[in-house]
């Protein structure tokens, strides 16, 4: 009797190298109708490799099936919900892809003369204008390639301004709820990092801050809403405390998905922030990019922005390289242009009211999840959450079930895990961000799965602790895989 079989053909797919049999080919070419030449003679023997050792030889159908089967091992946003908190894994409308593939944009060359690149430059100019309006800031650079790169750029801008004023200062303050990239960026820009403790409600401690901000502090880096998904409601007094001491307020804008169309960082005292176009403005991400982390600044920081700067003179756009206070380039050419195109397409397709709706829905979805799951999971910070919600595994831990186990069990239910063990200020965190692109049916399926796992953690903790049971591989040595990766196939 067959009880449960794994999909035999797709789940047992070997390496392509192991499928190889000598002489097989995955292509057919017509017979030569010109005289053949010997490659060694034509190119020089030293430029011709006679044989590639171990090169897989397979037929066309074997090559196609191999990669198609491998693709079924992956989880994808096109397949289902991807509730990774902090990552804003929203569904990316196909129209953005179509626009990014328009010939004139996709084939534009960075060395094209300005006169022949006016369309591409117009895309960048309009995106700068749209993002300035959305953030309430005065000027932008589109160059940084990711969020963390934007952070580094932003801190270098702060350093350049303070240096110009006579003293770059020594430290950057960072709350304990911050994303790990924040302290890394501050340190690479040459600053010491000082941690700021959050209050019991998970917010910035204003009076503690008042005590520690002095003339050595260059800036505070704050994520708003913070990584607990809670809005820093004292952000205006916080900005005032910093400004009174000549320090600046940096905002990590990776969570703009909770603010777009509702509140503007430029209006609540932020001097510089980065955006993650690949999160908020819908570019496929994960697996290492490409992304875009534009940096938006107030007027005081504008002279220091990377070169070149887009400049409009009459109808013409030009690149301005002559800016004596600029920190220079942070990236070759003009940033990841394809991502910029997608972001502008997304913004224009939605329009102001549409962007605002996306924000409202993103928050509504996360609040719905909180309300449904609150009876089953511990919620350490009770403040009303915005676009994401962070539970802890405290209740399940009593049965030895930890957040990582629950996440692995979620794989058996067909969902991508949520973010595990982050933010660090929550012990055993389950960080869930549904984004606005999930409908109620999908959310309910996720909620059902989570409730079912919470019940399993009571009735059969061992089942959860040894999950996943339906995946290709079960528990792997994650530390070993990260520290000693085996990336080369050996016969």
Site string for ligand PLP, 41-80 (x = CB under 6 A): ----------------------------------------
Residue 259 to residue 276: CA distance in whole angstroms: 13
Looking at 11-19, 50-58, 144-152, 380-388, which segment touches ligand PLP (CB under 6 A)? 144-152
At 248, which helix (H) or strand (E)? strand 248-253
Q: Does 435 bind ligand PLP (CB under 6 A)?
A: no
What backbone phi and psi angles, to 5 degrees, belong to 141?
Answer: -115, 140
Q: Does 284 bind ligand PLP (CB under 6 A)?
A: no
121 vs 238, beta carbon nearer ligand PLP: 238
**From 83, 147, 183, 335, residue interacting with ligand PLP (rule: CB under 6 A):** 147
For ligand PLP, the nearest residue by Cβ is 147
The three-state secondary structure class of 237 is: helix
**From 56, 269, 284, 293, residue interacting with ligand PLP (rule: CB under 6 A):** 293
Residue 361, class by beta-carbon neighbours within 10 Å (0-12 exposed, 13-18 middle, 19+ buried)? middle
**From 92, 135, 153, 181, residue interacting with ligand PLP (rule: CB under 6 A):** 181
Q: Does 254 bind ligand PLP (CB under 6 A)?
A: yes
Looking at 96-104, 240-248, 252-260, 311-319, which segment touches ligand PLP (CB under 6 A)? 252-260
At 193, which helix (H) or strand (E)? strand 192-196
Looking at 94-102, 107-115, 248-256, 357-365, which segment touches ligand PLP (CB under 6 A)? 248-256
252 vs 393, beta carbon nearer ligand PLP: 252
Q: Does 148 bind ligand PLP (CB under 6 A)?
A: yes
171 vs 387, beta carbon nearer ligand PLP: 387
Question: Hey, how many other C-beta atoms are within 10 angstroms of the C-beta on 40?
Answer: 12
Q: Does 223 bind ligand PLP (CB under 6 A)?
A: yes
Residue 283 to residue 105: CA distance in whole angstroms: 16
Looking at 48-56, 142-150, 444-452, 455-463, which segment touches ligand PLP (CB under 6 A)? 142-150
Task: Work out the end-to-end distance of the chain between its first and last CA atoms, rounded to an integer number of angstroms.
Answer: 37
**DSSP per residue over 361-407, as a string?**
HHHHHHHHHHHHHTTTSB-S--SPP-S-EEEE-HHHHTTT--HHHHH
- How many angstroms from the chain centroid is the CA of residue 114? 31
Q: Which residue has the tokens 């320090």?
A: 247
Query: Pick from 253, 245, 259, 275: which is nearest to 140 by CA?
Result: 275
153 vs 181, beta carbon nearer ligand PLP: 181
- How many angstroms from the chain centroid is the CA of residue 51? 41
Q: How far is the CB of 181 from ligand PLP (least distance, A)?
A: 5
Residue 146 to residue 56: CA distance in whole angstroms: 36
20 vs 421, beta carbon nearer ligand PLP: 421
Q: How far is the CB of 273 from ligand PLP (least distance, A)?
A: 11
Residue 487, class by beta-carbon neighbours within 10 Å (0-12 exposed, 13-18 middle, 19+ buried)? exposed
Size of the site for ligand PLP (CB under 6 A): 14
Looking at 159-167, 247-255, 345-353, 452-460, which segment touches ligand PLP (CB under 6 A)? 247-255
**From 58, 117, 146, 260, residue interacting with ligand PLP (rule: CB under 6 A):** 146
Looking at 168-176, 251-259, 322-330, 467-475, which segment touches ligand PLP (CB under 6 A)? 251-259
Q: How far is the CB of 247 from ligand PLP (least distance, A)?
A: 20
| Cβ neighbours of residue 225 closer than 8 Å, sequence gap 6 or more | 231, 232, 255, 258, 259, 386, 387
**DSSP per residue over 16-78, as a string?**
HHHH--TT--S---PPP-S----HHHHH-GGG--S--TT-----HHHHHHHHHHHHTTS--TT
Q: Does 83 bind ligand PLP (CB under 6 A)?
A: no
Q: Does 280 bind ligand PLP (CB under 6 A)?
A: no
Handedness of CA 359, 184, 188, 199 (dihedral sign): positive
Give yes or no for a contact between 73 and 473, defined as CB atoms under 8 angstroms apart.
Answer: no
> Considering only residues 90-129, where is the footprint of ligand PLP by CB under 6 A?
none
Q: Does 86 bind ligand PLP (CB under 6 A)?
A: yes
What backbone phi and psi angles, to 5 degrees, belong to 105?
Answer: -90, -45
What backbone phi and psi angles, to 5 degrees, belong to 351?
Answer: 70, 170
**From 83, 291, 335, 423, residue interacting with ligand PLP (rule: CB under 6 A):** 291
Site string for ligand PLP, 328-367 (x = CB under 6 A): ----------------------------------------
255 vs 392, beta carbon nearer ligand PLP: 255
The conformational region for residue 218 under phi > 0 = left, psi -120 to 50 = alpha, else beta, is alpha
**From 276, 326, 392, 403, residue interacting with ligand PLP (rule: CB under 6 A):** 276
What are the residues binding ligand PLP (CB under 6 A)? Answer: 86, 146-148, 179, 181, 223, 227, 252, 254-255, 276, 291, 293
């Amino acid at each position: 009797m067959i009880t449960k079989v794994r999909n035999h053909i797709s789940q047992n797919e070997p390496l392509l190298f192991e499928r190889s049999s000598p002489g097989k080919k995955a292509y057919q070419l017509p017979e030569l109708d010109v005289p053949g030449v010997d490659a060694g003679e034509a190119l020089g023997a030293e430029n011709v490799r006679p044989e590639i050792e171990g090169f897989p030889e397979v037929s066309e159908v074997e090559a196609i099936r191999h990669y198609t089967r491998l693709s079924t091992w992956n989880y994808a946003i096109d397949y289902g919900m991807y509730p990774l908190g902090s990552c804003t894994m929203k569904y990316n409308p196909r129209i953005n892809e179509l626009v990014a593939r328009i010939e004139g944009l996709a084939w534009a060359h960075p060395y094209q003369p300005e006169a022949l690149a006016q369309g591409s430059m117009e895309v960048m100019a309009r995106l700068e204008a749209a993002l300035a309006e959305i953030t309430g800031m005065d000027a932008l650079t589109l160059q940084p390639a990711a969020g963390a790169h934007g952070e580094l750029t932003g801190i270098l801008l702060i350093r350049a301004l303070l240096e110009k004023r006579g003293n770059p200062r020594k430290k950057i303050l960072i709350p304990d709820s911050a994303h790990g990239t924040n302290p890394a960026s501050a340190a690479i820009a040459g600053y010491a990092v000082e941690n700021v403790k959050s209050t019991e409600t998970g917010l910035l401690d204003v009076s503690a801050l008042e005590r520690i901000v002095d003339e050595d502090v260059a800036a505070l880096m704050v994520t708003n809403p913070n990584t607990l998904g809670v809005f820093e409601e004292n952000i205006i007094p916080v900005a005032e405390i910093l400004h009174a001491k000549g320090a600046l307020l940096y905002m990590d804008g990776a969570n703009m998905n909770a603010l777009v169309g509702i509140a503007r960082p430029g209006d609540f005292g932020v001097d510089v922030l980065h955006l993650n176009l690949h999160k908020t403005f819908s570019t496929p991400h994960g697996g290492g990019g490409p992304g875009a982390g534009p940096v938006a600044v107030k007027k005081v920081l504008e002279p220091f922005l990377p070169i070149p700067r887009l400049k409009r003179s009459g109808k013409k756009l030009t690149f301005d390289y002559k800016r004596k206070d600029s920190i220079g380039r942070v990236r070759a050419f003009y940033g990841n242009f394809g991502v910029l195109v997608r972001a502008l397409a997304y913004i224009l397709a939605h329009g102001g009211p549409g962007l605002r709706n996306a924000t409202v829905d993103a928050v509504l979805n996360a609040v719905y999840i909180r309300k449904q799951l609150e009876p089953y999971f511990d919620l350490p910070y009770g403040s009303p959450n915005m676009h994401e919600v962070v539970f802890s595994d405290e209740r399940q831990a009593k049965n030895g079930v930890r957040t990582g186990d629950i996440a692995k069990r979620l794989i058996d239910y067909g969902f991508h895990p949520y973010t595990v063990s982050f933010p660090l200020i929550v012990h055993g965190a389950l960080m869930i961000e549904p984004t606005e692109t999930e409908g109620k049916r999908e959310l309910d399926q996720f909620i059902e799965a989570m409730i079912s796992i919470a019940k399993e953690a009571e009735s059969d903790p061992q089942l959860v602790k040894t999950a996943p049971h339906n995946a290709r591989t079960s528990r792997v040595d994650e530390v070993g895989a990260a520290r000693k990766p085996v990336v080369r196939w050996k016969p």
